[in-house]
Structure 1
Amino acid sequence: MNSFDYLVVIAYLAAMLMFGLFLSKQNDEGDYFLGNKAIGWFPLGLSAMATQLSAISFISAPAFVGLREGGGLKWLTFEFALPLAMLLVMFVIMPPLYRSGVISIFDFLEQRIGRSTRFLISVAFQIVRAFGTGIMVYTTGIIIEAVLGVPFLQSILAISIITIVYSFLGGIRAVVYADAIQMVLIVFGLLVCLAYAITFIGGFDIFWASIDPERLRVVDWTYAGLVTDEFALLPMLFGGFVLYVSYYACDQTQAQRSLSAKSLGDIRKLLTANALLRFPVTLLYCITGLAVGVIATGDSAFLSLIPDDRPDYLMPFFILEFLPHGIIGLLLVAIMSAAMSTLSSAVNSLSAVTIADLKGFGLQLGDARQEIRLARLLALFWGGLILYFSIYSGDISATVIEAINKVGSALYGPVLGVFLIAILWRRRTVLSSNIGFLCGVALNLYFWQFQPGLFWMWWNLIGLLVTLSVAILLSLASGKMPLAGGPANWPRERVSPRHIFLATTGLTLFVCLIFLISLSIERF
């Protein structure tokens, strides 16, 4: 990197801080955490995509596809379940959550089940989200260390401090609009990387002919994947379905975006946009990874720069070694801003959940200023805890993206089970819901520690089924009367059967299109 690259980085970071300052005035808690429900569906949709498809995906997905042993386009199977998962989110889970008027989705659990259930799930979310975000900060440290030569610890300290300051200022509006901007930058950066890589190889035909055929295999039809530690169609479909439903509906960092929408109609629009746009972006990640992987395997000098146990260094070193100055700085800006906005999203949502929990314990805040002041103090706490987690996150799995999904898979199924009980099961009880959740989590932790041969994507489905089964059976056995169904004065918004049919048909056809594209890649 030269001075021009550094200037690009500094200018962008300064602009983001000014952007946060410009949007730093909030009237109350609802304004700070939900933007007074006045944010448009399109920036919310881009923000939801950017939170997940951020710095982690930029470096880890291409590394898995293009370089990691046993990797390849099989990662695309992760996208098969997303469109169908969005149907359950937009028509079953989000409507009652949105109508309840909550800021923290775990308040909804207290309304529908009880206080202990709310705190149990809330604490689990806060621990796992802080840990998962710590992995993202860790990834950013890898990038800065590889490209700038700044020691890992110093780099994550710098990025975390800047992000905490930014989180202080902007609230959800700044987070959402910054996410939308960085999503555009990420896609632009991927297109630039792909164009330079294919040009260096000598054209698309040479590039495609140089790919290891095993890396083009999206679905391995030789086994179903019922008991395996590898990617297969069934665990990616069923496990991915549960993971995506839970992530977009029962994870505060994502659900908070839906709760910030103007109406349920806007929620359906932003979720549909995610369902339709994620696959093209993920495919772009994967094709870029294949192209850079071809360069790495054919250039021993370039390959020698990448440690055997650090495949995530593939993209950072490609950017540094093969792209011109100015573009290097811009791509580093895209990656850093993606990680920063992901971190700020986590800090913002964790603050919202923690404040709601403290109020549940009886905390009384005099006015809106005190609420916002406490939210910013909590941002300091969560920022520091995430920083601590980031230092010890590198050894969970061979690539960072799998590590995040492993952490989520242990809890996402059981958490979804509790929300479905809260929404759909009239005979729910506090004790049965809590025991069901703990049984689902305990079984997944057992699989993690003692059954490594079971692919971790199955944990999502298993955790969901165990939680539902235990909770329902215990509630029936208890003989107690069902709990009240929640506030009776929720405003209703009728969705016509025609809209449900069109959405279901359209997204199902889109899943079929994804299958056809994946199969055509294998046979191209």
Structure 2
Amino acid sequence: MITTLDYVVIGAYFIGLVLLSYFIGRRFQGRADYFLGGRRMPAWAIGCSIIATQASVISMISAPAFVALRPGGGLRWLQYEFAVPLAMIPVAAVLARAFHRAGVITVYEYLERRFGAATRLLFSLIFQLSRSLATGVAIYAAAILLSTILETSLSVSILLVGGICLLYTTMGGIAADIWSDVIQLFVLWAGIFIVLGYALKVGGGPEVLLAHVPAERLQALDLTAHGLGDGATFGFWPMVLGGLFLYSSYYGCDQSQIQRVLSTPDEETARRALFLNGIGRFPLVLSYILVGLFFAGFVQAVPSFAAAIPADHPDYMIPIFIKHYVPAGITGVLLAAMFAAVMSSIDSAFNALAAATVQDVYARYLRPGASDRHYLNVSRLLTVVWGTICTGFAFLAGGVAPTVIEGINKIGSVFYGPILAAFLLAILSRRATGVGVIAGLLAGVGVNLVLWLRFEAEVSWLWWNATGCLTTLAVAALFRSRTATAQPFQPGLREELRAHRRLYLGLLLYTLLIIGISAGLASFVQGAV
């Protein structure tokens, strides 16, 4: 049961973050400050911020639920991480480098310079739709936590979570998001180990819990599953290859992520930030996967706990555990950790949505040439508007997928592949046209929607990222121009790979390392059981 002490801990944490946001935000002069932090952010802070955004409350409560309870779950989720360091190679070598050279605030500005205003507007609107839906899922996940522990209705909790994140985000812009994410990353990581520690204490220790883990949850690598008609959504190949397309698009073409990278002063700083994310995410993911592993044994060893988890809502597992097994005061610390995760994923989305609306719609079509002060005020107003819209979407998020983490990735996977293809064509192809890119986008999204609505059971949703990208490339090729178009921001891929070959080779070797660690962990646990 939550006590006054818990409320004091949570309140102090919130007040500290709001004050941080206020003091950062009062120095802003215009859009570049609000959306890009004046392009002065250091690589290590950007890297921590990107990691914190991915290690959101969705990961904190839903990834352990996937490992412990989801049919077909278990350690297979580790395979999803193998694509992260691989994806940092095309993001750093092609996408981020081109955008930095272009000096854009939103990546959709780049599309206009290459393909025209219609392409920019369409892709920006798609981002605004897909990211607002995904952010609604994130708010819903946080509301699950809050409603379970505070014993409030889910509707009230959704409104409370959306309101808190909105207050915090509106004042400080991207700089406050980044610096608060650095704090929140370590608070979140501490929360993970606190939950794990109490689970081991209540459950009788690691040996007891591991002895109760079902054998089917101990498979980390599923090399035979391909996810094309075999019903294996989370096989090695769809998670690595599909995940490569997904993460390349998410980190390189999604405004909520690439906006952080664009807030660095130069290409080298951006490259280091992406490298830090590529190697730093796996240890954090491994932490909450281990939480899920021990909870897979906990739900078997403590039947009363398993009975308290709704059969159709496995995401309630961690919140119910905190409510019933963690003492007062510590509960407040864990709630602060959870809300740290909430803010790290939602604050950047609100800011990026406002950036896309201001830069790609308002300043482009409605009020071009207005003062920076005017755009700053409109940016804050639109942050409020998007926060309200995303909170509204949260009320619709419960039925998207068995776990929240799948729901948010399904929404993204419909769009990520086609969007990645469009930007690759803009940067690397001299004959691609705006008409071809738009036609390819519509075809790619259409194919993915058909796969979702008609063939979801046969084709893993992870493959949607690849099918969408390849379909877009194929259709766009039908509309190629006969004459080559000059590309002022083409990154020079061969020269980039040659100049930084040690960094990119390191990411490849790191991928092999984490595959080996995952396989070794599964073998160790199977031996212990």
Q: Do both share a fold (TM > 0.5)?
A: yes
The answer as to 2:308 corresponding to 1:305 is yes
Amino acid at match of 1:203: G
The equivalent of 2:20 in structure 1 is 19
The equivalent of 2:167 in structure 1 is 165
Moved over 4 A (4+): 492-499
Q: 205, 208, 216: which one pairs with 1:214?
A: 216
Give the conservation status (yes or no) of the 8 Å contact 1:292–1:318: no
Give the conservation status (yes or no) of the 8 Å contact 2:214–2:296: no
The equivalent of 2:320 in structure 1 is 317
Q: 454, 457, 464: which one pairs with 1:459?
A: 464
The equivalent of 2:515 in structure 1 is 515
Give the conservation status (yes or no) of the 8 Å contact 1:219–1:232: yes
Cα deviation, 1:361-384, whole Å, max 9, x if unaligned, reads: 252353221011100111121111
The equivalent of 2:236 in structure 1 is 233
Give the conservation status (yes or no) of the 8 Å contact 2:142–2:339: yes
Cα deviation, 1:394-425, whole Å, max 9, x if unaligned, reads: 10100000001100000000000000000000
Could you say if the C-alpha distance between residues 253 and 427 of structure 1 is closer, same or farther in structure 2, counting changes exceeding 3 Å?
same
Q: CA deviation at 1:81?
A: 1.1
Cα deviation, 1:487-508, whole Å, max 9, x if unaligned, reads: 79x9x99967665321222111
Pairing 1:55-454 to 2, within 5 Å after superposition: 55-229=57-231, 230-357=233-360, 358-452=362-456, 453-454=458-459
Amino acid at match of 2:18: L
RMSD: 1.8
The answer as to 2:477 corresponding to 1:472 is yes
Structure 2 stretches of 5 or more lacking a match?
A: 525-529
Give the conservation status (yes or no) of the 8 Å contact 2:212–2:296: no
Cα deviation, 1:296-350, whole Å, max 9, x if unaligned, reads: 2221211121111110011111112222221111111111132133222111111
Amino acid at match of 1:241: L
Three-state SS of the structure 2 residue aligned to 1:457 is helix
Amino acid at match of 2:520: S
Cα deviation, 1:79-113, whole Å, max 9, x if unaligned, reads: 11111110111111111111101001100110111
Give the conservation status (yes or no) of the 8 Å contact 1:113–1:483: no
Give the whole-Å Cα distance in 2 for the aligned partners of 1:356 and 1:438.
Answer: 23
Amino acid at match of 2:4: S
Greater shift, 172-181 or 205-214, is seen at 205-214
Q: CA deviation at 1:204?
A: 2.6
Give the conservation status (yes or no) of the 8 Å contact 2:253–2:423: yes
Three-state SS of the structure 2 residue aligned to 1:475 is coil
Cα deviation, 1:465-519, whole Å, max 9, x if unaligned, reads: 111111123215xx3x33342479x9x9996766532122211111111111121
The equivalent of 1:8 in structure 2 is 9
Structure 1 stretches of 5 or more lacking a match?
A: none
TM-score by structure 2 length?
0.95
Amino acid at match of 1:474: F
Give the whole-Å Cα distance in 1 for the aligned partners of 2:495 and 2:212.
Answer: 50
Identity %: 39
Could you say if the C-alpha distance between residues 370 and 494 of structure 1 is closer, same or farther in structure 2, counting changes exceeding 3 Å?
farther
Three-state SS of the structure 2 residue aligned to 1:474 is coil
Could you say if the C-alpha distance between residues 475 and 495 of structure 1 is closer, same or farther in structure 2, counting changes exceeding 3 Å?
closer
Amino acid at match of 1:405: N
Give the whole-Å Cα distance in 1 for the aligned partners of 2:343 and 2:196.
Answer: 24
Give the whole-Å Cα distance in 1 for the aligned partners of 2:224 and 2:291.
Answer: 27
Amino acid at match of 2:122: L
Q: CA deviation at 1:359?
A: 2.1
Amino acid at match of 1:4: L
Three-state SS of the structure 2 residue aligned to 1:482 is coil
Give the conservation status (yes or no) of the 8 Å contact 2:249–2:420: yes
